[in-house]
Amino acid sequence: MNLTDYKGNFFQTRSQFIILNNDGTVKESLGALVKIGANETITKIHPFFESMIQLLKAAPDNHSFKCIHLGKEDEFVCDIDLSVNKEESLLVIHDFTDHYKEYQNVAQSRNESVITSQILDLQNQYLKEKEEFKNKFIANFSHEIRNPLTSVLTFCQMLEKTDLDLDQQDYVNVIQSATDDLRKILEDILDLSKIEAGKLSLEIDVFDIHEELELIKFIYSAKCRQRQLEFHCKIDEKIPRYVEGDKHRFKQVLVNLLENAMKFTHEGSITLKVQQNFARGNRTHLHFEIIDTGVGIPKDKLEDVFESFTQAHDSNKYKGTGLGLTIVKELLHMVQSEIKVESEENKGTTFSFNLVLKFPFDQELEKPKSESKKAKYRKPANKKKFKVLLVEDIELTQMIVLKILAKTGAFYLDILSHGQDVIETLKHEEYDLILMDIKIPGTQGDEVSRQIRAMGFNNTRNVPILALTAHHKPDDLKVYKKSGIDDVVRKPFDEESLLNTMYKYLPK
């Protein structure tokens, strides 16, 4: 087979040449794309060619038609070239079916890819907006709930110091217990929110792990006695006394697990085991187990207990948010550890995890400074009465601060409810200290503080400004510092925390 034969086969397969009279009848046809013989009209091929009859009668010219679909049962896609001459015309049909189908597939794939990308962008935007809304809601929720919580807590403390009979003292104890529960729920929600947002950071320092475990042993021995339960605490003596870690989060993990054990154990015992697996270099590898003889967890719900707002048992019978174990799991994940659970219904449950902690080689040299208990606030030695400005719009909080300061006999107090009144007041009055709520009508407390520092008269550059706020994340504290705020009194606050912070900044 020579090149001419190959060429002939190719053109017969891919192209068809048809010579036409100017009335549209076929003089000669070469190729097998369409079936048409001499003296047949071109319109027999397809209705599309009806339009060509007029072109054949027009002046000589060349015409091209792209992506034309011909055929009925066996449809193919072609390009058509028409060369019109005076006596006869040439019609060439090129079969590009494979080419156009491939192009269509590529275009469709590209379009699908673009649509998928747009869907992902929309989903990411939705998730981002949802997360922003949730964080904003939790921040506002935190602020709004801490104000009444502060009121309940402070007035309970004040009521406790009055002459109460036994029944009244019991009522106060119940209110305080309920307030502590509410505060814990609030802290759990905020902790989980910070974990999900990636804004929870660990504060690593040297602490006495044996002292912390003994304290936990003391607390839960007493709690278990009240519930007629036995409490066992087995601590490996080989564990180094001083280790590096976040003491607060370490206690939070153990407390959450022990509280969970107490909630679901009605008789029997609760056991805390801490064992050193091994020590290598300056790291100790510890194994923790919290064992109870409680109601147990069904096998099909073992993993569910770590989901937010989820309980494996009847939530009407066992109260709580279902966040304690979720927070434990996330806190351990932050230190590359994993919580495990084994359980048998009506026999009990065991939670376990491993923890790697650094420890100083010279235990005595690295002994942390003993944290003295919070000293009760002490009045400055001088007998001066200090003048304080409170900027706060919540009447209950105003009353709380007024009651606390009035009881000391060491303060004069002015109260403003709106941020826009502060600057005008400071033009005429001088104060020893300003208590500034961060969320006040019309503006933000940090913005008002910035304006105060810019005033430049009546000691406004140096007067101590303390923020009263529920917002005290590291980013918030940076903003407060830049605006000229000296310190933060965290809501909910009590008498001791408020006065301790105030006296810290007043003249001695």
Could you read off the pLDDT of 254-313 as tens digits, one per residue?
999 999 999 899 999 999 999 999 999 899 999 999 999 999 988 888 877 887 655 555
For the chain, give every residue range classified as CATH 3.40.50.2300: 386-505
Q: What CATH fold (topology level) applies to the domain 100-196? A: Helix Hairpins (1.10.287)
Whether residue 160 has pLDDT greater than 50: yes
Residue with tokens 């007067």: 463
More confident residue, 182 or 485: 485
> Which one-letter amino acid corresponds to residue 34?
V
248 pLDDT band, cuts 50/70/90, is confident
Average pLDDT over residues 133-143: 69
Question: Tokens 């036994």 sit at which residue?
Answer: 166
* pLDDT band at residue 244 under the 50/70/90 scheme: very high
Q: Which residue has the higher pLDDT, 148 or 244?
A: 244
Where do the CATH 3.30.450.20 domains begin and end in the chain?
A: 3-95
Q: Which of 332, 330, 329, 351 is nearest to 340 (CA)?
A: 351
374 pLDDT band, cuts 50/70/90, is: very low
CATH number for the segment(s) 386-505: 3.40.50.2300
Share of the chain above pLDDT 70, in %: 87
Residue-wise pLDDT for 52-63, tens only, equals: 888 888 888 999
Considering the chain, tell me which residue range(s) the CATH 1.10.287.130 domain(s) occupy.
Answer: 100-196
pLDDT tens-digit map of 11-68: 556 888 999 998 889 999 988 788 888 889 988 888 888 888 888 888 889 999 988 8
| pLDDT surpasses 90 at 391 | yes
Supply the pLDDT for residue 370.
47
- Tell me: domain 3-95, CATH 3.30.1490.190, correct? no
At the topology level, CATH places domain 205-358 in: Heat Shock Protein 90 (3.30.565)
User: pTM for this structure?
Assistant: 0.52
Between strands 443-444 and 433-437, the pairing is unpaired
Q: pLDDT value at position 314?
A: 53
Contact 358, 283 (CB under 8 A): yes
**Confidence class for position 232, pLDDT limits 50, 70, 90:** very high
Predicted confidence at residue 107, as pLDDT, reads 85
CB proximity list for 506: less than 8 A, separation 6 or greater: 380, 386, 432, 433, 464
Whether 473 shows a pLDDT value over 60: the answer reads yes
Q: What 3-state DSSP class applies to 101?
A: helix
**Quick one: what percent of the chain has pLDDT higher than 90?**
32
Residues 379/503, Cβ–Cβ less than 8 Å: yes
Token pair 């969970």 is at which residue?
260
